[in-house]
Amino acid sequence: MSSQVTPSGSASISGIAVLENPRQQNDSPKTLLFDAHLFCPVNTALKIDADNEDEDDGGKKSHTPGILASLRYFNSQDLSFDEVDAYFITANASLHLIV
C-alpha cells in the first residue's frame, strides 16, 4: 500500500493573541503548546450582531470574529508564561495531506 502526497500549502498570520494554558511538549522540555485566541478586526459592516442589547451600539451588541488555535513555541530563552496575557505573534502553518 503506497501513500500519495497531495499538493501542500502554507500560511502566515500576525496579530494580537491571548495565550493561555501553556504546557510543555513531552518529548521536548523547551517546546511549549498554547491555546491562542487571535482577534480579527473587521469593519463595522461585517460585525456579527447578537440578540443582546448594548447601549453603546444603538441597541445591538456586536462581536468581533476571532480564531482559536493551538500554537507550538520553541522557548529558547526560557521565558516565563505564568499569567494569561496578550502578545503580538507571527505564526506559520503548513499543510501536507497524505492520502
Q: Give per-residue pLDDT as tens, 19-53.
A: 999 999 888 989 999 999 988 766 544 455 544 44
Domain boundaries, the chain: 12-91
Percent of the chain with pLDDT over 70: 65
Mean pLDDT of the chain: 77
Give me the long-range contacts of 17-25 (CB less than 8 A, separation at least 24): 17/71, 17/86, 17/87, 17/88, 17/89, 18/84, 18/85, 18/86, 18/87, 19/71, 19/81, 19/84, 19/85, 19/86, 19/87, 19/89, 20/84, 22/81, 25/72
